[in-house]
Chain A
Amino acid sequence: MFEAGFLKWRYFAIFFPIHAIIVLFLSAPANKVSTNFSKWLLVVVGSYLITAIPFALAMNFKWITDDGRREFIALVFIGMVRGFAILDIGLLLDLPQTKPYLLRPLNSAVNVPLWFMILRFLIGSRNEFKELFNELYVRNIKDRVSKVVPAKGKVQESEIAKIEARVLETLDPLRKNIENLAGAQMSIADLERERLIIQSFIEEKLRPLSHELWRQQKINPPKLHYIRNLFRVTFVTKSQFGYAIIPSFIFGVVGASTFESFAFAWRHSLLHLVIQVIVFLGYEFLYERVDSFRKYLNIFAVFLCIAIPYALDPFFLANYPSTSANSGAEIVAAGWFLLLSLTFSIAKSQTDFRKDLIASLLIDLEKSGSKENSNADLAAKYAKYLHGDIQSTLSSTQMQLQQASEQDDLKLGTTSIEKLASVLRRDHHDYVIGEAISPISKFQQIIDAWDGIATISIDVEDGEFSDATLLKVAEVIEELVSNAIRHGGATTISAQIGTLHGDMHVTFQDNGAPKKSGKAGMGSSLVKNQALNLQSTSDLDGNRITFQMAQ
């Protein structure tokens, strides 16, 4: 409860309105304040500035700011200085003061540290609370939550549909436009126009969508319901209302002294004190004995601490015929008691009962479910697809169209438009969601990846090849391609896949430098492992490898 962090200028600034309200409304009866309002205002500002001096001094001692208890004690002294400042400035300005005079500094010495505690644990700790919440979510909980709450097929499907609909909606106008052009006669002006259309499409449509999908993959912890959590923590953990009893007693004595006699004030507060202590002792006695009703016991005890004194007040007031009931003061006193109880409970929960706090936060996190996670993963996949595959194809088409229009190369323009049309025509779902890549896509991937460095053609004859065998052969071809380019400098490569005696037969040819016989590299060992009847011939025109693969 006493971790360092009470002495902060931020809290001191927030304390100003509280200080002003206390001085203007609780130091003297309202009618006396209104007649000398400007003087009371001077008391507010003057005492606040004087309080800032010891506050600044304490802030400069690392020995104090390193330890919460020392900070708290420093605040007691700061509060005392504030109390004397209010008293002395008030006396200098001839303003009415509560008697005995020492009550003012005593009350201030007790209440200032408590106010700082309230500010710290109710307002200031929100950030700490949120950090802890995020940390829990990001580091530990995300995986757990996704395991605890299984992904629901229906939710997943609807999320896919939603994102896919947006992708299609975005890509469709361009697809229709490109589809109309594919295979049609085009002029150089058409190519230039299409280039501009593609450019503006990337800037205005594609990027905003892919960026939005990127943002969705950011880890977004569920919303932090701060106030709800504070209350939950307060009543799940043991209520610390006992700490509020003595400060409330002092507050009651000082508060009541401002409009009644000191004798009345302290007796009235003593009655409240005795009742609250009895409730507290009863609470302590029962708390360990009633496991299942603890949170109700918390609420009940706090309720009794306020309700019983209030109910008994009429009998007490009967002994003071000249004194009338003051429900406003009773509400302020009850509010102060509640505020302190809440603060002490939260302070205790956030420090000593960290485990309970974490348990409470977990409830929110687990409730959040995996919907966001699966949604974010899916969004990320689509973002990557749009940002990578689609955008790079569009950029490449754009560059080719520019080159075509600059060089009057209509063929280049037509080819690039057709390639773009085929990319926009594809089933985006398969590319993004599909777990396994199809063999044909794999072949295309190899061709596209090396495009520019080498021209590769892979022909698959009609035959009943299983996808598994074709994927295996794709792996072998991938190795052969990289070997032919890296070691032979090949620029033209072809592979034919057909059947021979019931087995898959592959012929691989490249125009690279003839292979040197030597130690087998990893590529060729992969080929050796997968391929049967491997035969290799080399001449000045290049290399030819044939092999079979058992299906």
Chain B
Amino acid sequence: MVEDDAFSRVALIDALKLQRLHVVAGVSTAKEALEAQKKFDPSVAICDLDLGVGPTGLDIAQVLRQRNPKIGIVMLTSYRDPRLAGSDLPPLPQGAILLNKRELQSMSTIVMQIIAAATSPLKKRKADWSKSHKFQSLSDTQIAILISIADGVPTSKIAEERGVSEQAIEKTISRICKNLDIPQLKDKNQRIQIVRAFFYGAGREI
């Protein structure tokens, strides 16, 4: 179990133990995760996507998989679309199962997915980040621009960074609004609505 938030880690481990799963280690950093893998050789790694500074759960999952090609991977995230965690993330390892913390209804769902990851770690699974959400309609570029907007970067700067004209960025922003159903209203600042949509997608509504 790789989770940087100690409280969540302890709570989840205890809950999984109650479900009669054998949790061999609960760790918070990449180093501890790799040491635990070396020591216990677990059949499944459950990684939180956002681990603060440094590697994400995906980075760790990639290395765990390199060292044991048959390890099952379960990724936990509160992002409605994990691409919002960063536009430069490594891909989800083959067979990895992505669970959205906000959509989980019971512990048995996690347990079922852990068992599925253990029994068929490499089974090709549809890695649609957020099947039920409108963020899926955004391209990677749109997601990257959305992140920049939420970061407070002005249009001119985004255009400069991406080596395109401001007009092109404005058009992309319009498409983002269209895809996310953000109307252009006189009494509402559209950019703020985009930022709100970003935080909603990131699982941190404002």
Which residues in A have some Cβ–Cβ distance to B below 8 Å? 210, 214, 384, 387-388, 391-392, 395-396, 399-400, 402-403, 445-446, 448-453, 478, 482-483, 485-486, 520-523, 525, 528-529
Q: Is the CB of B27 within 8 A of A392?
A: yes
Kindly state whether residue B113 has any CB partner on chain A within 8 Å: no
* Interface SS of A by simple majority: helix
Interface code B9-41, partner A: CB below 8 Å = 1, 0 otherwise?
Answer: 010000000000000000111111111100100
Identify whether the interface residues of B are mostly helix, strand, loop, or mixed. helix
Q: Does residue B103 face the partner (Cβ distance < 8 Å to A)? A: no
Comparing B54-62, B129-137, B185-193, the segment that makes contact with chain A is B54-62
Partner of B59, one of A214, A391, A392, A453: A453
Q: CA separation between A513 and B60, bound complex, in Å?
A: 19
- Cβ of A395: which chain B residues have Cβ within 8 Å of it? 27, 32
Verify B6–A384 contact, CB threshold 8 A. Answer: yes
Given known A451-B31, A522-B161, contact A399–B54 (CB-CB < 8 A): no
Residue from the set B30, B36, B87 with the largest chain A CB neighbour count within 10 Å: B30
Query: How many residues from B make CB contacts under 8 Å with A?
Result: 35
B144 within 8 A of A: yes
Chain B residues lying within 8 Å of A400, measured Cβ to Cβ, are: 35
Contact B88 A485 (CB under 8 A): no
Min CB gap B58→A, angstroms:
9
With a cutoff of 8 Å between Cβ atoms, the chain A residues found around residue B89 in the complex are 486
Partner of A446 from B53, B148, B162 at Cβ < 8 Å: B53
B10: chain A residues at CB < 8 Å are 387
Known A453-B55, A485-B55, A521-B88; judge A399-B30 contact (CB<8 A): no
Residues of the B chain whose Cβ atoms lie less than 8 Å from the Cβ of A210? 6
**A-B pairs with beta carbons under 8 Å apart, 18 shown:** A387-B6, A388-B4, A392-B28, A392-B32, A445-B53, A448-B54, A449-B52, A449-B55, A451-B29, A452-B31, A453-B59, A453-B63, A478-B54, A521-B87, A522-B148, A523-B88, A525-B161, A525-B162
Across chains A and B, which 8 residue pairs bring their CB atoms closest together, nearest first? A449-B54, A452-B31, A387-B6, A525-B161, A451-B31, A452-B34, A452-B30, A392-B28
Whole-angstrom distance between the alpha carbons of A396 and B39 in the complex? 12
Kindly identify, within residues 73 to 130 of chain B, every residue whose CB is under 8 Å from any CB belonging to chain A.
Answer: 87-90
Contact across chains for A387 and B7 when beta carbons are under 8 A apart: yes
Contact B35 A453 (CB under 8 A): no
Q: How far is the CB of A384 from chain B (nearest CB, A)?
A: 7
Q: Inside 8 A of A453's CB, which chain B residues have their CB?
A: 30-31, 34, 55, 59-60, 63
State whether B30 touches A391 (Cβ < 8 A).
no
Q: How far is the CB of B152 from chain A (nearest CB, A)?
A: 14
A525 to B144: give the CA distance in the assembly, Å: 12
Known: A387-B7, A482-B88. 17 other contacts (CB 8 A): A388-B5, A392-B28, A392-B32, A445-B53, A446-B53, A448-B29, A449-B30, A449-B55, A450-B30, A452-B32, A453-B31, A478-B54, A482-B54, A520-B162, A521-B87, A522-B88, A525-B162
A342 CA / B177 CA spacing, docked (Å): 59
Cross-chain contact of A485 among B27, B33, B53, B59 (Cβ < 8 A): B59
Of the candidates A399, A523, A525, the one whose C-beta lies within 8 Å of that of B32 is A399
**Assembly CA distance A453 to B33 (angstroms):** 10
CB of B154 to closest CB in A, whole Å: 12
For the complex, what is the distance from the CA of A450 to the CA of B33, rounded to whole Å? 11
Q: Do A486 and B90 touch across chains, with their CB atoms under 8 A apart?
A: yes
Which residues of chain B have C-beta atoms less than 8 A from A388's C-beta? 4-6, 28
Q: Of the candidates A391, A396, A446, A486, which one forms a contact with B31 in the assembled complex, judged by CB atoms under 8 Å apart?
A: A396
* Chain B positions within 8 Å of A525 at CB level: 161-162
Contacts of B35 in A (CB 8 A): 396, 399-400, 403, 452
Q: B4, B52, B53: which has the most chain A beta carbons within 10 Å?
A: B53
> Which residues of chain A have C-beta atoms less than 8 A from B87's C-beta?
521-522
Contacts of A521 in B (CB 8 A): 87-88
Assembly CA distance A451 to B34 (angstroms): 10
Complex interface residues of chain B between 156 and 185 (CB less than 8 A to chain A): 157, 161-163
Specify which chain B residues have a CB less than 8 angstroms from the CB of A529 in the assembled complex.
Answer: 157, 161
- Nearest A-chain residue to B35, judged by Cβ: A399
Q: In the bound complex, do residue B88 and residue A399 qualify as a contact, i.e. CB atoms below 8 Å apart?
A: no
Contact A520/B163 with A445-B53, A486-B59 known, Cβ cut-off 8 Å: yes
Closest to B87 in A: A522
B31 with A448: CB separation less than 8 A: yes
A484 to chain B, nearest CB (A): 12
Does B32 lie within 8 Å of A396, measured CB to CB? Answer: yes
- CA gap between A448 and B4 in the complex, in Å: 13
Given A214-B7, A391-B6: A399 touches B39 (CB 8 Å cut-off): yes
Distance in Å from the Cβ of A66 to the closest Cβ of chain B? 31
Instruction: Determine the distance from Cα of A449 to Cα of B34 in the docked complex, in whole angstroms.
Output: 12
Look across to chain A and name the residue whose beta carbon is closest to the beta carbon of B163: A520
Chain B residues near A449 (CB, 8 Å)? 29-30, 51-55
Q: What residues of chain A lie closer than 8 Å to B5, measured between beta carbons?
A: 388
Q: Which residues from chain B contact A445 at a C-beta distance below 8 Å?
A: 53-54
